[in-house]
C-alpha cells in the first residue's frame, strides 16, 4: 500500500462535507455564524528537513506551512496545537522552542495546546501542528472553482525556496552575501501570505498555497476544477536574487516552477475581477485537463516531474 | 532536559488565556457566541501501545483518548484531524483504518483532515489526533474550581482498564471468558463519557478525565485548585469483573486507583448540587494540598507512585 493508497482509504472515511474530500488545503466547518478553517501538517526528520537543519528553522517552518494552508482559505489564524516527538538532544529542543516562539510572535498566533512524547532510541523527530482560524462571512475558496477563461495568478516570486535549498546543500553558490541570505531566508523562513489570502478569498474562483511546486499544485486545481491550466513559463515571476544565481533560461524557470516550498498563493479569477493585491498573471484556464506550458507563444513540454511528491 | 522541563519551556510561550496554561485537558477558545474546545494527544508505539497491539484498537484508543478530553470539558465533538506516521506494514495500516472507522462511527464524529508521513526505516509508529468540539452557553469547567467542602465524584468504575492490561500481558488470568472480555474491552476500547460530560459541565466546580490514574489526576485538581483531595479508597467503585479477578483488598483498590487509562470523569461539586448522572462520591475536598487517602475512617498511606507518568 503506497501513501496515496492509504490516503484513499482515509478519504472513504472522510465523507463529511467539511472534510472537502481530504482534497483541499484545510477543512472548513460552519461554526455559529462564521467558518472554522483547520489544518494539520507534519514534518519528519529526514523527509521534510535534514537532521543537520537548524531546529529553530524547523519550528518556524512547522508553523509557516500550516498557516499557509489557512492563508489559502482566507482564514485569520486563531491558534495552534503542537504534537512534538522529541529526540534526546536538549540543545536541539531549546533551539526548536526559540524558533517556535519567533514564528508565533511573527505571525501573531498563540500556542494553545498539544502533546509531547519521546521519539525513542532510533526514532526520527516527528512533529505535527494543527492550525485553525476563522473565515468571516464569505465563501471559503476551494480548488474546484476555476473555469475556462479564468486567469491564473501567483503572489510573490516563485523558486526562491528551491534556490535557497541549492545554496544550503552546496549545489550552487551565490556571488555575494546578500543574495545568498535572501534565498536562504526564503528556504528556511517561509512567510505565509496571510493578508493576501484574506484580501483575495472573496474574489477568487479557486485558491491554494504552493507547497509542492507550482506545476504540481496547478495540476491539483486542474483536477479539482476540470480545466486545463495553461501556464506561461516566461511569466513566472523570478526574484532578482534567483536570477543573479540561476539566470532566467527555460531550464532555470522550469526549476523554479517545480521546486516547491514557495508558500505563495496560486489562484484563479474571472479576467474582469479586480484583485486587490499585487499579483502576477501567469496563465489562463482552458477547456481540458492537466497542466500545459507555453513560452513566447510556443508550447513547451512538461518536465518529468511537476513537483515534489513526499514519500 | 526532561519532558516536564521541555513542557515548562512551552508553557512560557502559551500565555494566551485560551491555552489554560497548558494545564487543562483542552484549550477553550471563544468563537462567535460559543466556545471551541480543542485538544491534541499523541500515541507512540512502545510508549502508549505495544508493537504487538491490535492496530484497530490503537486507532480506537487514539480517537477515544482525545474525545475523553472533550468530554471532560462538556464539549460536543465536531470533528478530528489525524497526523499519522506509517510503518511499512500494510496489514497493520488496514486494521488501523478499520478501527478508526469503528471509533468515528461509534462516537459520531467525522474525520476532517490531517496528514500522513512515513516513519522511516527504524521509526516508531507515531500518531496524533486533534479533536475539537463546541461547548454551548456556559462556563467550561477547568481543574481549578474545587474548594474545601466540595464533594469528589467519579463516573463509572475505576481500574477496569488496568485489569485488562494485566490480562493482556499475562500477569493475571480471569476465571471465565465473559469477565476477561469485559476487562479487555475496558483496556482496548475505552469509551469517553461524552454525554455525562455535557450533562455535568454546567454544574461542577472542576472536572477532568482520568487518564493517568485516579490519584495522580486527583493531585492535578488539588494543585490547580489549591485544595487537598481526600479520597476514600473504600468508596472507589470497582466493577464485578474487576473484583472477580483481583478482589477488593486495599492492595487491589490501590492498583485500581493508580492504574490509569480509565477515561472516566473525575469531578468536584458543592455538596448541595444535584447532579444529573449516576456518579459515585469518593471523597471530599479539604483545606491543604495534594491527595490523601482514607478507608473506613482511617488514614491510609499514599503509594510510591500515584499513577502513570509517560516518559
DSSP state string for A221-287: HHHHHT-EEEEEGGGS---HHHHHHH-SSHHHHHHHHH------EEEEE-TTPPPSS--EEEEEEES
Chain B partners within 8 Å of A46 (Cβ): 120
- The dihedral through the CA atoms of A89, A183, A214, A19 has a sign that is positive
What pLDDT shows up at residue A1? 76
Collapsing DSSP to helix, strand or coil, A196 comes out as helix
User: Which residue pairs, CB below 8 angstroms and at least 24 apart, start in A288-292?
Assistant: A288/A227, A288/A228, A289/A222, A289/A223, A289/A226, A289/A227, A289/A228, A290/A219, A290/A222, A290/A223, A290/A228, A290/A229, A291/A215, A291/A218, A291/A219, A291/A222, A291/A228, A291/A229, A291/A230, A291/A231, A292/A228, A292/A229, A292/A230, A292/A231
What pLDDT shows up at residue A310? 57
* Cβ A167 vs Cβ A173: under 8 Å: yes
List of chain A residues with pLDDT < 70? 120-122, 137-138, 310-311
What pLDDT shows up at residue A46? 83
Query: CB A30: neighbour CB atoms within 10 A?
Result: 11
What percent of chain B lies above the pLDDT cut of 90? 82
- Pairwise CB contact (< 8 Å): B16 & A79: yes
Looking at chain A, list the stretches that DSSP marks H as alpha helix, in order from N- to C-terminal side: 3-13, 55-72, 90-107, 160-168, 177-188, 194-200, 214-225, 240-246, 250-258
- Pairwise CB contact (< 8 Å): B16 & A82: no
Which cell numbers in the block locate residue B169? Answer: 500481558
* Cβ A107 vs Cβ A169: under 8 Å: no
Determine the residue among B113, B122, B131 to mutate to test chain A binding: the one whose Cβ has the most chain A Cβ atoms within 10 Å.
B113
What pLDDT shows up at residue B311? 43
A23 touches chain B (CB under 8 A): no
What pLDDT shows up at residue B176? 92
> What is the side-by-side order of every strand in the sheet holding B228-232?
B206-209, B265-269, B151-154, B280-286, B228-232, B291-295, B298-300
Q: Which of B1, B113, B123 sits opposite A40 (nearest CB)?
A: B113
- Give me the mean pLDDT over the B28-32 stretch: 89
- Pairwise CB contact (< 8 Å): A14 & B79: no
| Distance (Å, whole) CA A128 – CA B127 | 9
| Distance (Å, whole) CA A270 – CA A204 | 8
Query: CB B271: neighbour CB atoms within 10 A?
Result: 9
> Kind and range of the H or E element at A29?
strand A27-31
What pLDDT shows up at residue B89? 87
Which cell numbers in the block locate residue B110? Answer: 467525522
Predicted confidence (pLDDT) per residue in B42-54, tens digit: 998 888 888 889 9
- Give me the mean pLDDT over the B81-90 stretch: 90
Q: Which of A9, A119, A130 sits opposite B81 (nearest CB)?
A: A130
| Distance (Å, whole) CA B271 – CA A136 | 44
Is B155 within any annotated ligand binding site? no
CA–CA min distance B113, chain A (Å): 6
- Whole-number Cα distances in Å, A114 to A18, A77, A128, A229, B271: 23, 17, 9, 39, 34
> Kind and range of the H or E element at B186?
helix B177-188
Cβ contacts below 8 Å, chain A against chain B, sum to 222
ipTM above 0.90, yes or no: yes
Whether pLDDT at B192 is above 90: yes
- The dihedral through the CA atoms of B47, B52, B53, B55 has a sign that is positive
Residue A172, Ramachandran bin (φ over 0: left; ψ between -120 and 50: alpha; else beta): beta
What pLDDT shows up at residue B139? 81
Q: Which residues contact A170 (CB under 8 A, 6 or more apart)?
A: none
Which cell numbers in the block locate residue B305? Answer: 507512585
Q: Which of A104, A113, A118 sits opposite B47 (nearest CB)?
A: A118
What pLDDT shows up at residue A122? 64
B124 touches chain A (CB under 8 A): yes
Q: Share the mean pLDDT of chain B.
A: 94
B25 touches chain A (CB under 8 A): no
What pLDDT shows up at residue B119? 73
CA–CA min distance A204, chain B (Å): 23
- Whole-number Cα distances in Å, A74 to A71, A142, A197, A207, A266: 5, 10, 4, 9, 13
Q: Which residues contact B136 (CB under 8 A, 6 or more apart)?
A: B34, B35, B76
* Cβ B233 vs Cβ B306: under 8 Å: no
- Report the range of poorest mean pLDDT among A177-181, A277-281, B20-24, B264-268: B20-24
Angle between helix axes A3-13 and B90-106 (nearest 10 degrees) is 20
**Pair type for strands B280-286 and B151-154:** antiparallel
| Distance (Å, whole) CA A96 – CA A100 | 6
Q: Is B95 buried (19+), middle (13-18) or exposed (0-12) by CB count in 10 A?
A: middle
Query: CB A203: neighbour CB atoms within 10 A?
Result: 18
A15 touches chain B (CB under 8 A): yes
Collapsing DSSP to helix, strand or coil, B97 comes out as helix
What pLDDT shows up at residue A86? 85
What pLDDT shows up at residue A47? 83
A73 touches chain B (CB under 8 A): no
What pLDDT shows up at residue B121? 64
What pLDDT shows up at residue A34? 86
In chain A, the domains with their CATH numbers are 3-135 (3.30.1330.10), 151-297 (3.90.650.10)
Q: Which of B1, B44, B93 sits opposite A117 (nearest CB)?
A: B44
Amino acid at each position: 500500500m503506497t501513501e496515496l493508497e492509504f490516503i484513499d482509504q482515509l478519504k472513504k472515511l472522510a465523507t463529511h462535507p467539511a472534510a472537502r474530500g481530504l482534497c483541499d488545503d484545510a477543512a472548513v466547518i460552519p461554526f455559529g455564524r462564521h467558518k472554522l478553517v483547520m489544518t494539520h501538517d507534519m514534518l519528519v526528520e529526514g523527509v521534510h528537513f535534514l537532521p543537520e537543519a537548524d531546529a529553530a528553522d524547523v519550528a518556524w517552518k512547522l508553523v509557516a506551512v500550516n498557516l499557509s494552508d489557512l492563508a489559502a482559505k482566507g482564514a485569520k489564524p486563531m491558534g495552534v496545537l503542537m504534537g512534538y516527538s522529541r529526540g534526546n538532544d536538549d540543545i536541539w529542543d531549546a533551539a526548536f522552542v526559540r524558533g517556535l516562539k519567533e514564528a508565533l510572535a511573527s505571525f501573531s498566533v498563540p500556542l494553545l495546546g498539544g502533546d509531547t512524547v519521546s521519539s525513542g532510541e532510533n526514532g526520527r523527530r516527528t512533529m505535527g501542528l494543527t492550525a485553525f482560524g476563522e473565515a468571516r462571512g464569505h465563501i471559503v475558496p476551494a480548488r474546484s472553482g476555476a473555469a475556462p477563461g479564468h486567469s491564473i495568478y501567483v503572489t510573490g516570486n516563485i523558486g526562491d525556496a528551491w534556490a535557497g535549498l541549492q545554496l544550503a546543500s552546496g549545489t550552487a553558490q551565490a556571488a555575494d552575501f546578500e543574495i545568498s541570505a535572501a534565498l536562504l531566508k526564503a528556504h528556511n523562513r517561509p512567510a505565509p501570505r496571510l493578508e493576501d489570502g484574506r484580501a483575495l478569498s472573496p474574489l477568487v474562483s479557486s485558491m491554494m498555497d504552493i507547497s509542492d511546486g507550482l506545476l504540481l499544485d496547478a495540476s491539483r486545481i486542474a483536477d479539482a476544477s476540470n480545466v486545463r491550466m495553461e501556464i506561461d513559463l516566461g511569466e513566472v515571476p523570478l526574484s532578482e536574487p534567483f536570477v543573479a544565481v540561476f539566470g532566467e533560461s527555460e531550464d532555470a524557470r522550469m526549476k523554479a516552477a517545480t521546486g516547491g516550498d514557495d508558500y505563495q498563493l496560486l489562484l484563479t479569477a474571472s479576467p474582469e475581477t479586480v484583485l486587490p493585491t499585487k499579483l502576477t498573471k501567469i496563465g489562463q484556464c482552458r477547456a481540458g485537463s492537466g497542466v500545459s506550458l507555453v513560452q513566447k507563444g510556443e508550447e513547451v513540454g512538461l518536465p518529468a516531474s511537476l513537483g515534489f511528491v513526499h514519500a
